C-alpha cells in the first residue's frame, strides 16, 4: 500500500473522530522543497465540510496523526497545508516490497474487455514519413502503456490501399517506369512507388500549365489535364475489377507492404492485425439501411442519406451519396463494427489520427452511439499535433517529406557525430559502436517526440534531441548505463533485506524511494490520459533524483556494509524501473555507453 493510500485511511478516521464528519477523498501533493516533510495534506477542500480556520484544522489533524499513526513522525502546517514527516521504516518496508519485482508498476491481472489500438494507417502511394513516425510511436506506446495498466490490447492498422492517389502512382509507373522493380533498382518498394507519385505530380502540373497557356482557367485545367483523366479512368476500371489494372495494383501494393514492414522493424513497432480499405470500403451500408428504418438517418430528395447532428451541436453529415456510393464515414462505421465481430472481447478502441480529423471522429463516435452500440462510449480519438522541421512543412506529392528510413539513419549518424565529439565510446568495436549509435539515435528520436503532450505541435530538431544533458533520451540512457557499470563492480551479496533497525535512510535515499513509489500511478494516469508524455517525464524526474543521490552519497564506498547493500539495491531498482518505463516508450537501454 502506498503512503497516500495508508494516510488517506488515517486522515479520514481522524476527521471522523475529531469532527464527527465524513471525508470522501483526501488530496495530497509533494511537500515543497523549502519545507520539512515528505508528503502534504491539502486541507482547503475539507473546509466545505467543517467551517474553521485551515491552519487550525491542519494542527488538529497533524497532532492526531502523530499520536495515532506509527508512520507519521512529525508535522508542520504552512497556511493550511499539512506537511507530514514519514518514518524511515515505512519507506524501507515499501522499498523491500518492490525491490525484487522486475515488473514493478505493471498490473498482471488482465481485464476481461480488450482495447484495440489503431495506428499508422498509411497510404500505399508513398513511404512512411516524419508525420507517420509520430503516429506510430504514439500508438505503439499507448498500446504498451494500456497493457501495463492491466488491459488486453490488440494493435491494428487500416491500410489505405485504394483510391485516386493510389492510381496516380500506378499510372505514372505504367507510363514512365520502364519495368523498374525494387529488385532491379535496389530501392525499397515504398520508395520506388513514392517516386512515381512525385512523377505524376510533375507531369500533372506541366499539363495544367500547357492547358492554361491555351486559354483554360486554372480550375478547368486542373480538371481536364489528360493524366488526371487517365488516372480517374484507371480507378473506375479498378472498381470494375479490370484484370490488368488489379494485377498492377496488387504488384505495386506488395512492393509497398514489404517496404513498410522494413520500416516498422527498424523503428521497433508491431501489429497484431491489418485491415485494408480495399476490403472495407463497402462495409457500413447495411447499417445505414438499418438506421434509416429507426430514424437515425434520413434521405434527401436526391436519394442521398444523412445524419442530423444539429441537436448535438454539430451539423448534418452525409453517409451515402445520391448514387448509393459510400463516403469515408460509412466505411469507418462498418470497419468499427467489423472489428468487434472479429474480436468480440474488445470493449473499446483508440484511433491514433492527426488533429485535422478531430471533427470526423466526433461525428463517427456519435453516430455509432445513435446506432445503439454500447461500446461506442469507449471509443477514443488519440488526436495529435503535426511535426514540423526547421525547414518548414512537408509535402508528399512534391517530394519534400522527411522519409522515415532516412530520418532513422540520420539519427544514428547524429548520435555518432556527437558521441565521437564527447569521446563516449572509446574502446568499443566497430559493430558495438554501430549498434549503440542506432540505440542512441532511435532513443533520442522517440523520446523527443513522446515527451511532448500528444495534442501539442512539435518542431523536431535532430541535433537538439541527441543531447547527453537535459530532458533527452540519451541523457536517460547514459544514466542507465552508468548504473550498470556500478552494478558490475559489486563483489558482495546485495540480496539481504534490511529493516529500519539495521539501516537509517539518508534524505537522498528517501527521495529516491518516494520517486519510485509514483511509478504504478504514473502508468495508470498515462493509460487513462493516453499520454506517453507522463511516462517519459517520470523517467526524467527519476534520473534527476538518482543523479542527485549519486552525487551526494557514495554507493560502493559507503562506510557501513548495510549502507552499501541498500544503495546497490536502490540502484538496481532504479535501473529496472527505467528499463520498464522505456520499454513502454519503445526505447532500448544500452548496458554500456
Q: Residue 7: name the closest of 25, 34, 33 by CA.
A: 25
Domain C-terminal end among 54, 86, 118: 86
The Cα angle at residue 396 between residues 413 and 141, in degrees rounded to 5: 60
Is the domain of 472 the same as that of 574?
yes
Cβ within 8 Å of residue 491, ≥6 positions away: none
Is residue 201 included in any domain, yes or no?
yes
Is the domain of 75 the same as that of 203?
no
Is residue 35 included in any domain, yes or no?
yes
Residue range 19-70, pLDDT digits in tens: 999 999 999 999 998 999 999 999 999 999 999 999 999 999 999 999 999 9
- Are 128 and 190 within 8 A, CB to CB? yes
The total number of residues written for the chain in this structure:
593
CATH of the domain at 53: 3.30.1360.70
Is residue 82 included in any domain, yes or no?
yes
Q: What is the pLDDT of residue 59?
A: 96
Residues of the chain scoring pLDDT < 70: 391-401, 422-424
DSSP label at residue 434: H
Is the domain of 568 the same as that of 423?
yes
Beta bridge partners of 86: 72
Is the domain of 211 the same as that of 67?
no
Is the domain of 59 the same as that of 185?
no
Is the domain of 532 the same as that of 415?
yes
Is the domain of 562 the same as that of 433?
yes
CATH of the domain at 415: 1.10.730.10
Domain C-terminal end among 255, 277, 301: 255
Is residue 392 included in any domain, yes or no?
no
Domain C-terminal end among 58, 86, 114: 86
Residue range 285-338, pLDDT digits in tens: 999 999 999 999 999 999 999 999 999 999 999 999 998 888 999 999 999 999
Helix (H) or strand (E) holding 318: strand 316-320
Helix (H) or strand (E) holding 329: helix 328-342
Is the domain of 183 the same as that of 52?
no
Is residue 177 included in any domain, yes or no?
yes
Is the domain of 82 the same as that of 176?
no
Is the domain of 75 the same as that of 171?
no
Is residue 554 included in any domain, yes or no?
yes
Grid coordinates of 303:
436519394
Grid coordinates of 221:
485545367
DSSP label at residue 32: P
Domain hosting residue 76, numbered range: 3-86
Is residue 500 included in any domain, yes or no?
yes
- Are 514 and 29 within 8 A, CB to CB? no
Number of domains in the chain: 3
Is the domain of 77 the same as that of 172?
no
Is the domain of 172 the same as that of 76?
no
Is residue 150 included in any domain, yes or no?
no
Amino acid at each position: 500500500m502506498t503512503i497516500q493510500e495508508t494516510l488517506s485511511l488515517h486522515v479520514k478516521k481522524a476527521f471522523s473522530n475529531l469532527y464527527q464528519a465524513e471525508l470522501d477523498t483526501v488530496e495530497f501533493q509533494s511537500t515543497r522543497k523549502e519545507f520539512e516533510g515528505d508528503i502534504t495534506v491539502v486541507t482547503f477542500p475539507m473546509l466545505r465540510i467543517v467551517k474553521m480556520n485551515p491552519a487550525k484544522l491542519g494542527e488538529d489533524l497533524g497532532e492526531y496523526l502523530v499520536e495515532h499513526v506509527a508512520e507519521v513522525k512529525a508535522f508542520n502546517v504552512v497556511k493550511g497545508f499539512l506537511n507530514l514527516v514519514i518514518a524511515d521504516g515505512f519507506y524501507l518496508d515499501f522499498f523491500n516490497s518492490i525491490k525484487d519485482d522486475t515488473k514493478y508498476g505493471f498490473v498482471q491481472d488482465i481485464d476481461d474487455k480488450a482495447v484495440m489500438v489503431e495506428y499508422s494507417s498509411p497510404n500505399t502511394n508513398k513511404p512512411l514519413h516524419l508525420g507517420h513516425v509520430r503516429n506510430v510511436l504514439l500508438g505503439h506506446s499507448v498500446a504498451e502503456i494500456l497493457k501495463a495498466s492491466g488491459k488486453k490490447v490488440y494493435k491494428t492498422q487500416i491500410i489505405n490501399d485504394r483510391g485516386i492517389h493510389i492510381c496516380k502512382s500506378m499510372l505514372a509507373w505504367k507510363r514512365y517506369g520502364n519495368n523498374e522493380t525494387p529488385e532491379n533498382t535496389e530501392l525499397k518498394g515504398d520508395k520506388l512507388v513514392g517516386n512515381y507519385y512525385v512523377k505524376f505530380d510533375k507531369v500533372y502540373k506541366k499539363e495544367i500549365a500547357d492547358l492554361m497557356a491555351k486559354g483554360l482557367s486554372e480550375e478547368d485545367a486542373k480538371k481536364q489535364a489528360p493524366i488526371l483523366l487517365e488516372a480517374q479512368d484507371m480507378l473506375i476500371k479498378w472498381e470494375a475489377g479490370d484484370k490488368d489494372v488489379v494485377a498492377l495494383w496488387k504488384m505495386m501494393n506488395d512492393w509497398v507492404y514489404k517496404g513498410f514492414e522494413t520500416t516498422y522493424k527498424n523503428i521497433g513497432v508491431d501489429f497484431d492485425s491489418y485491415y485494408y480499405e480495399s476490403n472495407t470500403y463497402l462495409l457500413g451500408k447495411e447499417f445505414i439501411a438499418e438506421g434509416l428504418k429507426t430514424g437515425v438517418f434520413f434521405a434527401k430528395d436526391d436519394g442521398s442519406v444523412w445524419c442530423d447532428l444539429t441537436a448535438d451541436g454539430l451539423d448534418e453529415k452525409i453517409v451515402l451519396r445520391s448514387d448509393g456510393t459510400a463516403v469515408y464515414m460509412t466505411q469507418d462505421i462498418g470497419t468499427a463494427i467489423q472489428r468487434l465481430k472479429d474480436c468480440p472481447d474488445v470493449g473499446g478502441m483508440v484511433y491514433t489520427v492527426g488533429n485535422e480529423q478531430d471533427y470526423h471522429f466526433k461525428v463517427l463516435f456519435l453516430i455509432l452511439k445513435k446506432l445503439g452500440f454500447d461500446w461506442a462510449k469507449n471509443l477514443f480519438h488519440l488526436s495529435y499535433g503535426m511535426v514540423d522541421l526547421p525547414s518548414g512543412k512537408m509535402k508528399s506529392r512534391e517530394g519534400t517529406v522527411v522519409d522515415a528510413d532516412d530520418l532513422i539513419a540520420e539519427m544514428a549518424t547524429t548520435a555518432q557525430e556527437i558521441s565521437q565529439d564527447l569521446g563516449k565510446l572509446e574502446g568499443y568495436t566497430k559493430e558495438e559502436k554501430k549498434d549503440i549509435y542506432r540505440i542512441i539515435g532511435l532513443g533520442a528520436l522517440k523520446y523527443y517526440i513522446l515527451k511532448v503532450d500528444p495534442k501539442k505541435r512539435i518542431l523536431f530538431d535532430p541535433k537538439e534531441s541527441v543531447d547527453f544533458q537535459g530532458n533527452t533520451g540519451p541523457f536517460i540512457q547514459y544514466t542507465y548505463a552508468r548504473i550498470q557499470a556500478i552494478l558490475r563492480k559489486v563483489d558482495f551479496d546485495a540480496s539481504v533485506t534490511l529493516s529500519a533497525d539495521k539501516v537509517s535512510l539518508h534524505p537522498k535515499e528517501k527521495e529516491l524511494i518516494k520517486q519510485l513509489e509514483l511509478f504504478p500511478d504514473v502508468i495508470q494516469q498515462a493509460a487513462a490520459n493516453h499520454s506517453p508524455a507522463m511516462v517519459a517525464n517520470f523517467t526524467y524526474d527519476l534520473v534527476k533524483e538518482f543523479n542527485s543521490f549519486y552525487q551526494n552519497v557514495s554507493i560502493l564506498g559507503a562506510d557501513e556494509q548495510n549502507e552499501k547493500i541498500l544503495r546497490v539495491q536502490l540502484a538496481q531498482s532504479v535501473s529496472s524501473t527505467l528499463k520498464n518505463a522505456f520499454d513502454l516508450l519503445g526505447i532500448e537501454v544500452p548496458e554500456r555507453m
